[in-house]
Structures are given as C-alpha cells and as structure tokens.
Amino acid sequence: MTRLSVNINKVATLRNARGGNLPDVERFAVDCERFGAQGITVHPRPDERHITRKDVLLLKDLVSTEFNIEGNPRPDFVELVLQASPAQVTLVPDALEQITSNHGWDTRTHLSALRPIVATFRQAGIRVSIFVDADPQMVEYAREAGADRVELYTGPYAERYPHDPQAALAMYRPAAEKARELGLGLNAGHDLNLLNLRPFLQAFPWVDEVSIGHALISDALYLGIEETIRQYRACLN
C-alpha cells in the first residue's frame, strides 16, 4: 500500500507570516500522525521562509512515523540532515530563488556530484530518494548514483490530467516501470490532490509513498485536517 507523507511547509509559512508560534508546526505534525499520516515531510530552504533549522531539529524527536527531509544537498543541508537523522532524505535540485520545486535532477549530468552525497547519507543509515522528471534515463542514473528510491516530479501530470487523463498517465509509465525494473523504490510528489491522486496510484500501484503539501493543506481550510487526511488516505486504498 502506498503511504501518505504530509508536507507541512505551508503550515510554517502561515506561522512565519505573523511571527510567534501560531500555528504550532511541531504540534501540527504530531496531530497529522494522530489523524493517520504515515510520514511527515519538510523542505527547509536556506532563507528559512517556511520550515526552519530549529523546526527540523525539534521534529526529529517528535515524528514517530517516517521523517522525510527534502532539499538541495548544499553543505549546510547535508549537515542538518545528518544531525536530524531522518528515515529518508529526498535530494531536490531547487535554486535559491525558486518559489517551489519545478524540475528533477539531470542525474546523468550530475552523477559524479550526487554519488558521494548519496553515499554519505546511506552510510549514516538514511534512505536516499532522488527527485527526477518522468524520464527513464534519469531513473537509471539515479540508480547509478546509489539511490534507494526516486521521486517522480508529478507537476506535469497534474497540469495535463484535467484535459487528457490518459495522456497524463502515459507520460509517466516508462519512468515508473523503469524504477520497478531496476528494483528502485518509487515515490511521487508535487501538485497531487484529491482529484488526480487515485488514478495515478491505480496506474502505478507500486508507488511506495506520496508526499503532499500544498493541496492537502488547502483542502484542510475547508474540510479540517483530520477529515482531509482521511480522504487522502482513502485515495491510497
């Protein structure tokens, strides 16, 4: 069964807009787990515009399911992940000025840079996932880099799905099947929501984990976080 990891960045964005500790990010993470989340994802960025270094270090002792830290493996990020020792680290090639992630790694071009970083995390007992576009070659080179999993960037899927669902799914089949063929774990994330999640998982039932933040937190404004997590979990079954 595919697991649901809730990305809580947007909760931290709301807190940081006013200062103080409302909403309480750490309590929110614990409550998400209580309501059925099977993991918590954070993506700390250098400017700390949402999740902060302090948040990461507090969450490492609070998350009881699976803690997943995403980010570009700059030296300060590597140091933070090793200190927090999460279950999983997801390597994302986001630039400093990016609002959100919008592409995966070119794992072929960056193979020599990724290999030692992946090895460092694996030696520390941290599972490594590499964020890639839906390109089977990028999946192959992620394996060459030593990754345990790949996370497919599903932004293009979400954009195309409302207009042509079958074509949207067809875009992802070669990469998803390549991951399975190579024995890599398969994650997915970005712009997945209550409308497009179930079809994606019906097409690729071997997806291990989805990481969902923006849509899930937006749905919670209307449904409440407990009901929202229940509905996302229902999509996974």
Distance CA 25, CA 10 (A): 10
Catalytic, out of 70, 140, 151, 209? 70
User: Residue 186's Cα: distance from chain center in Å?
Assistant: 11
Tell me what percent of the chain is helix, strand and coil, each rounded to the nearest 5.
45, 15, 40
- Specify whether 70 is catalytic: yes
Cβ atoms 67, 39 nearer than 8 A: yes
Nearest CA-CA partner of 208 in 82, 72, 39: 39
Distance CA 25, CA 58 (A): 10
Amino acid sitting at position 93:
P
Helix (H) or strand (E) holding 120: helix 111-123
- Specify whether 66 is catalytic: no
Catalytic, out of 33, 43, 50, 66? 43
- The angle formed by the CA atoms of residues 15, 209 and 62, to the nearest 5 degrees, is 45
Catalytic, out of 26, 140, 190, 209? 190
Cβ atoms 128, 88 nearer than 8 A: yes
Distance CA 154, CA 164 (A): 15
Distance CA 82, CA 77 (A): 9
- Specify whether 190 is catalytic: yes
Cβ atoms 110, 118 nearer than 8 A: no
Helix (H) or strand (E) holding 81: helix 75-84
Cβ atoms 58, 87 nearer than 8 A: no
Catalytic residues: 43, 70, 190
